[in-house]
Amino acid sequence: MSLVDKFKELEEFREKSKLGGGQEAIEKQHRAGKLTARERIEKLLDPGSFVEIDSFVVHRCYDFGMEKRRVLGDAVVTGYGTINGRKVFVYAQDFTYIGGSLGEMHAKKITKVQDMALKAGVPIIGLNDSGGARIQEGINSLAGYGEIFYRNVMASGVIPQIIAIMGPCAGGAVYSPALADFIIMVRKTSYMFITGPKVVKAAIGEDVTFESLGGADAHAKLSGVAHFAVDNDEECINLIKKLLSYLPSNNMDDPPIVETGDPPDRMDEELNEMVPADPKKPYDVRDIINRVFDRGTFFEVHAQFAPNAVVGFARLNGRSVGVIANQPMVYAGCLDIDSSDKIARFVRTCDAFNIPLVTFVDVPGYLPGTKQEHGGVIRHGAKVIFAYSEATVPKLTVILRKAYGGGYIAMCSKHLGADFVFAWPTAEIAVMGPEGAIEIIHKNELMKAKTPEELKEITDRLVAEYRSKFANPYVAANMGYVDAVIMPKETRPMLIKTLEAMSTKREIQPRPPKRHANIPV
Amino acid sequence: MTIKVKVGDEVKEGDVVLTLETMKMENPIKASRSGKVREIKVQPGRFVNVGDPLIVIE
């Protein structure tokens, strides 16, 4: 073979490796409203930055006629490149060849980039589109999943792991995304479940569609498995880029600082009018968030899931922060099983990646009822306390209105290590709400009432008395549990100054050595 | 719960038609579209569940 022939051979292999399952399958993929694996990578990465790895890898299965179905690349495209100039590793499953199924060599390609991303200390992005385990390859497929999961866990808290579900993802395949930091699902073309509608029907007689069982909205709204639901591939890829802009490359790094052009000393007079003095009146806490942080930077995570809490990223004078807030507009902003999960998970994600926490509190307490108690609101609620206590990033808290009982403690109070607690003049920080408190404290006096009118009169008087005496920020400020009571409009400049002061924060007290803490999962 | 409209009233999209109390919070419930109130399916003091129809607008 001449030199020319040898070079030509390589060229031919290269061309062949780009085809995946062939032209017809590519067209089918397009008709389904989906981009191909290569098109997705091309849109995700900076132009010309993609470097492919393992494009000549093939499976080594000789059963069931598989030796005749061998395609270069084995249904996954892997490699690295840059997004807005920042290095990332990436893999994209190729549905056009044997349904993007995962066998031994396919898995080895993924674990190779997982290892490389971890060594390099840069984020890894997975674009999943796979029918699941390649049955023809038997337990070697299962071994492959196991190897991927193990690496997901090893990389957890070291490098950001973002996984987009852009096609089917069923059975064991769901657990790699579940172990990552963020899941994005595309509406109508993606679904995730442990067992599909057919098995559900056979096992428990339930009739359910793919979309209602495991579609993007089911997971973004009900299960909380997905952090984001988007309409199409393009939107999905843009969201990944945006999400990445708030995250550092690894746990030893800081998130990029972005010039937002919003003056750090800006005071928003309208903030003074945002929280109604009447504790029975709801409001949208996102209106406050949008006014405090750098304009247009609030990026909500888990927006549809447990909407009685709001979490997301934002910027304060260009610095990335994690925002957590109770949402008085939904269930009065109470904590419950799902909102506790949502908050705890987000706090831990931020803490792992050096993102300071800013918490806005307006919480009446925990949601009562058998559904909550029997569902384990105690152990789920405990996660919020655990996550906040454990977090060592700067922790700033702003008490807007209600901060009662266990809810007060859990929402990043001074007692859980908040570095700075601000309270607005509308804050009501007390052991419990006035109505409940007087029923206990003034039980005897209330029992003296002879008529319902008299009872109401006594109740109203005692509630008013309790409210003026205890339902304010000053009792807590007298104790130093609140560091400063501020005008709402001062919130932005105060947060920026405090964040600046705490940006070099180190936990002074060494924590006791341990194998690992035992969060009540 | 307080009901702010009666059968036959004309309402505009966004008008507050009732307030619903959850966790001691009075949530204003707004009309999802304009029209005439045909039926009020709830009474003050009663418990309602998520997804229950409250007021029918035609």
What is the complex's ipTM, to 2 decimals?
0.80
Residue B58, class by beta-carbon neighbours within 10 Å (0-12 exposed, 13-18 middle, 19+ buried)?
Answer: exposed
DSSP A471: S
Cα distances from A19 to residues A55, A168, A211, A412, in angstroms, run 11, 21, 30, 53
Residue A219, class by beta-carbon neighbours within 10 Å (0-12 exposed, 13-18 middle, 19+ buried)?
Answer: buried
Tracing tokens 């890894």 back to the chain, one arrives at A124
Residue in A281, A331, A435 closest to B23 by CB:
A331
8 Å CB contact of B28 and A364: no
pLDDT band at A509 (very low <50, low <70, confident <90, very high): low
pLDDT for A104 equals 95
Alpha-carbon gap, residue A521 to A220, rounded angstroms: 20
Give the residues across from A186 on adjacent strands: A230
- Which chain B residue shows the shortest CA-CA distance from A434? B24
Tell me, yes or no, if A381 comes closer than 8 A to chain B by beta carbon.
no
Are A416 and A383 within 8 A, CB to CB?
no
Are B40 and B6 within 8 A, CB to CB?
yes
CATH number given to B2-57: 2.40.50.100
8 Å CB contact of B25 and A280: yes
Which residues have C-beta within 8 Å of that of residue A115, sequence separation ≥ 6? A151
Torsion sign, CA atoms A494, A500, A503, A504: negative
Alpha-carbon gap, residue A457 to A469, rounded angstroms: 18
Most confident range, picked from A101-105, A450-454, B38-42: A101-105
Which residues have C-beta within 8 Å of that of residue A171, sequence separation ≥ 6? A132, A133, A194, A195
pLDDT band at A508 (very low <50, low <70, confident <90, very high): low
Chain A positions touching B21 (Cβ under 8 A) are: 280
Average pLDDT of the segment spanning A44-56: 97
- pLDDT of residue B33 exceeding 70, the answer is yes
- pLDDT of residue B7 exceeding 70, the answer is yes
Q: Among A264-278, A380-394, A407-421, A429-443, name the one with the lowest average pLDDT.
A: A429-443
Residue in B21, B23, B26 closest to A334 by CB:
B23
Closest C-alpha to A324, from A380, A266, A407: A407
A-B contacts (CB, under 8 Å): 27
Q: pLDDT, tens digit, for every residue of A462-485?
A: 999 998 898 899 999 999 999 999
Alpha-carbon gap, residue A266 to A388, rounded angstroms: 29
In our burial notation (b when 16+ CB lie closer than 10 A, e otherwise), range A141-167 reads beebbebbeebbeebebebbbbbbbbb
Strands B16-22 and A319-326, by their bridges, are unpaired
**B-interface mutation test, from A280, A285, A329, A400, most B Cβ less than 10 A away:** A280
Are A326 and A362 within 8 A, CB to CB?
yes
Are A357 and A398 within 8 A, CB to CB?
no
8 Å CB contact of A332 and B26: no
Alpha-carbon gap, residue B24 to A364, rounded angstroms: 9
Alpha-carbon gap, residue A313 to A505, rounded angstroms: 20
Tell me, yes or no, if A434 comes closer than 8 A to chain B by beta carbon.
no
Q: pLDDT, tens digit, for every residue of A312-324?
A: 999 999 999 999 9
Q: pLDDT, tens digit, for every residue of A206-224?
A: 999 999 999 999 999 999 9
Residue A79, token pair as written in the block: 């490699």
Q: What is the DSSP string of A292-315?
A: HSSTT--EEESSSSSTTEEEEEEE
How does the average pLDDT of chain B come out, rounded? 90
Alpha-carbon gap, residue A113 to A91, rounded angstroms: 8
Tracing tokens 């009020």 back to the chain, one arrives at B40
Work out the minimum CA distance from B51 to partner chain A, whole angstroms: 14
E strand or H helix that includes residue A285: helix A285-292
DSSP A366: B
Alpha-carbon gap, residue A386 to A348, rounded angstroms: 10
CA angle A333, A338, A339 (to 5 degrees): 35
Chain B positions touching A433 (Cβ under 8 A) are: 24
Alpha-carbon gap, residue A220 to A371, rounded angstroms: 21
Q: pLDDT, tens digit, for every residue of A112-134?
A: 999 999 999 999 999 999 999 99
Tell me, yes or no, if A138 comes closer than 8 A to chain B by beta carbon.
no
Closest C-alpha to A169, from A150, A154, A184, A151: A184
Residue in A280, A329, A367 closest to B24 by CB:
A280
> Residue ranges per domain, chain B?
2-57
Show the DSSP H helices in A18-162 as ranges.
Answer: 23-31, 37-44, 104-120, 139-155
Which residues have C-beta within 8 Å of that of residue A340, sequence separation ≥ 6? A377, A380, A381, A383, A384
Closest C-alpha to A245, from A257, A236, A234: A257
Residue A471, class by beta-carbon neighbours within 10 Å (0-12 exposed, 13-18 middle, 19+ buried)?
Answer: buried
Query: What's the pTM?
Result: 0.94
Work out the minimum CA distance from A282 to partner chain B, whole angstroms: 6
Tracing tokens 């093939």 back to the chain, one arrives at A58
Greatest alpha-carbon span in chain A = 110
Strands A86-93 and A124-128, by their bridges, are parallel
Which residues have C-beta within 8 Å of that of residue A520, sequence separation ≥ 6? A379, A382, A383, A386
**Proportion of chain A above pLDDT 70, given as a percent:** 100
How does the average pLDDT of chain A come out, rounded? 95
Q: What is the DSSP string of A268-284?
A: -GGGGGTS-SSTT----
- pLDDT of residue B1 exceeding 80, the answer is no
Strands A395-404 and A428-430, by their bridges, are parallel
Alpha-carbon gap, residue A457 to A214, rounded angstroms: 54
Alpha-carbon gap, residue A265 to A249, rounded angstroms: 30
pLDDT band at B22 (very low <50, low <70, confident <90, very high): confident
8 Å CB contact of B26 and A282: yes
Q: Looking at chain A from residue 241 to 280, which residues have their Cβ under 8 Å from any Cβ of chain B?
A: 279-280
